[in-house]
Amino acid sequence: MLLNGVAVEDTFAEAFAMWGTRVLITAENEKWGMAAARAMTGFATSVIGCKCEAGIESAVPAAQTPDSRPGVAVLLFGTSVESVGKRLVERIGQCVMTCPTTACYNALASDTTVPVGSLLRYFGDGFQAAKLLDGRRFWRVPAMDGEFVVEERFGVQPAIGGGNLLILGEDTAPTLAAAEAAVEAMRSVPGVILPFPDGVVRCGSKVGSRYKALVASTNDAYCPTLRAVTGTTQLGDEIGCVLEIVIDGLELGPIEEAMRRGMKAAARPGVRQITAGNYGGSLGQYKIALHALLNGT
């Protein structure tokens, strides 16, 4: 299949079942809300090395937040309910509670919840206070600029991680430009994040390694410098750069829509092929076919 003259391979992205949550951070102004959100989502590109995957979903207008202040929505994903809960306590405690003027609220309605404020309240050393509002319990923890308000429990739901696109280009400049255009298009879809730096991955991985201590290693089949030495190369001589975009979402539909928009945006001059990473369907629970996305099926 050709998309604006770019070949789209007849393959699928293999994605995995995860657990996800949505956090709403508010602050005195957008600057400090974003500062807390950036800190909370740092070092969260992959569960392989970071224990979670997280990113900024969107800014939230003050008119739509519980305390009528500017907000930022953050999505965080882990491999289990317990893992998500631990990461929330760690990251909200270290990155949001420490940031001037912030408050932190649950932004995901779910029957499954994890304790967050009920644990962070102990930092108040006995001076903390509970507040019940519309059936939701919050904790007010004293801080040097006033108090930090945090919701007692946060919702967690089944989610999906590892949707992906691979952009194969002639060299770095057009491939990077295509990846940047794809990221911009994909970030317009609510309910998804792109957890890697500004959404783009340069070092895609494969399962396993010749070194027993590693569970993943460089995806040599897509490394241009290894084309002549690896027996698994997927690259023709015209390919000089490959970049990947990974997508996590609270539901499958938004991931599919983000991938559809990303492919259309990435089909630009200098790009030769768009494909996706998979493991032959043997590992992931979700198989997202590229041609079906473009055909609307």
Instruction: List the structure tokens of 245.
Output: 């975009």
Read off the pLDDT of residues 37-80 as tens digits, 9 standing for 90 and up.
999 999 999 999 999 999 999 999 999 999 999 999 999 999 99
Question: 18-157: which CATH architecture?
Answer: 2-Layer Sandwich (3.30)
What value does the mean pLDDT of the chain take? 97
2-14+160-295 is a CATH 3.30.70.520 domain: yes
- Separation CA 270–CA 292 (nearest Å): 24
- The HSE-up count of residue 36 (CA atoms within 13 Å, CB side) is 31
Listed in order, the ranges of the chain carrying CATH 3.30.70.520 are: 2-14+160-295, 18-157
Please give the sequence-ordered ranges of beta strands (E in DSSP) within the chain, or none if there are none: 2-3, 6-8, 12-26, 53-60, 71-78, 103-106, 113-115, 129-133, 136-143, 146-151, 153-155, 157-169, 192-193, 205-207, 216-218, 241-249, 271-275, 286-289
Read off the pLDDT of residues 242-280 as tens digits, 9 standing for 90 and up.
999 999 999 999 999 999 999 999 999 999 999 999 988
Q: Are strands 6-8 and 71-78 parallel, antiparallel or unpaired?
A: unpaired
What per-residue confidence (pLDDT) applies to 282?
83
Percent of the chain with pLDDT over 70: 100
Output phi, psi for 174, to 5 deg: -70, -30
- pLDDT bin (cut points 50, 70, 90) of residue 281 is confident
Read off the pLDDT of residues 168-177 as tens digits, 9 standing for 90 and up.
999 999 999 9
Q: Would you say residue 297 has pLDDT above 80? A: no
Count of other CB atoms within 10 angstroms of residue 186: 27
Output phi, psi for 190, to 5 deg: -65, 150
Place of tokens 């739901």: 157
Query: Which of 1, 15, 31 has its CA nearest to residue 165?
Result: 15
pLDDT mean over 10-23: 97
* Beta bridge partner(s), residue 23: 74, 106
Instruction: List the structure tokens of 128.
Output: 């903390």
Percent of the chain with pLDDT over 90: 95
Q: Are strands 103-106 and 146-151 parallel, antiparallel or unpaired?
A: parallel
What per-residue confidence (pLDDT) applies to 189?
98
Place of tokens 């970071």: 50
Q: Is the pTM of this model over 0.85?
A: yes
